[in-house]
Amino acid sequence: MMIEAEHLFKRYGTRLVVDDLSLHVNVGDTLGFIGPNGAGKTTTMKMISGVMPPYAGRVRIDGVDIEAEPSLAKARIGFLPENAPLHMTMTVRAFLAYTGRLHGFSGRELARRVDRAMERCALKEAAGQEIESLSKGYKRRVCLAQSILHDPKALIMDEPTDGLDPNQKRQIRELILSLREETAVIISTHILEEVDAVCSRVFLLCKGKTLFDGTKDEFRAKADALHTDLAGLFAAMTEGVQA
């Protein structure tokens, strides 16, 4: 199993935002991590990517415990945070080289990986441009490029297509589909259309609690049984919890 999260809990003060969450993702799987706003998706993404320690529970990436051996585990993770935060004053190439160096690459190997990541994310023509001057879609692609530069075994993406135009969404989705051959992918989103387009599994979270964990077909079958679409099922399952 590439990504294993077991019995994760997270508190902000007295508020429990993630409540006994467990999930497993294998290579070839693309897990759609869905839920309404405030469900705990981003917090879970941060815990799985090692950015934030859980209050309780454990995360293993490719069998490596992220708390016991953070550097080893993080070397296997590619993380695309929400809103694609970047160093705006750097050029695309300089930024990718900087993140590559943090993974320990240098010299020709670094240059090769930067070129490859730019090629995969269609960034070649913007290589010398300052990130600040790029469009939102390009910025998202730069952030995606830094997350795949080191060929991660686990790719964790938080709202990867949020705010993009239809063409940019399609490009990002095609890229995600091309990555899942050799990578375990988790996509946190509240866009159900995205789940339908790229995910093989669905994980529904609401108020920190797991409401559904299964294949996309099982999720769709559940919707069919209730004579509704995916959005209808999503509403039916989450509104009860939120109330």
Residues 45-64 contacting other proteins, CB under 8 A? 46, 49-52
* DSSP per position, 85-153: ---TTSBHHHHHHHHHHHTT--HHHHHHHHHHHHHHTT-GGGTTSBGGGS-HHHHHHHHHHHHHTT--S
Which run of H or of E encompasses 233? helix 230-242
Least distance to other proteins from the beta carbon of 203, Å?
Answer: 19
Nearest CB to other proteins, comparing residues 30 and 146: 146
Query: Which tokens is 47 given?
Result: 């815990």
Q: Taking CB under 8 A as the rule, does residue 111 contact other proteins?
A: no
Contact mark string toward other proteins, 113..152, x via CB under 8 A: -----------------x------------x--x------
Least distance to other proteins from the beta carbon of 66, Å?
Answer: 11
Nearest CB to other proteins, comparing residues 9 and 98: 98
Which run of H or of E encompasses 173? helix 166-179
Nearest CB to other proteins, comparing residues 94 and 191: 94
Q: Taking CB under 8 A as the rule, does residue 11 contact other proteins?
A: no
- Helices and strands in the chain, H and E counts: 9, 10
Residues 97-108 as b or e (16 or more Cβ within 10 Å = b): bebbeebebeee
Nearest CB to other proteins, comparing residues 72 and 177: 72
The separation between CA 237 and the C-alpha centre of its own chain, rounded to angstroms, equals 23
- Binding footprint of other proteins on the chain (CB under 8 A): 12, 42-43, 46, 49-52, 70-72, 74-75, 77, 79, 81-83, 85-87, 89, 98-99, 101-104, 130, 143, 146
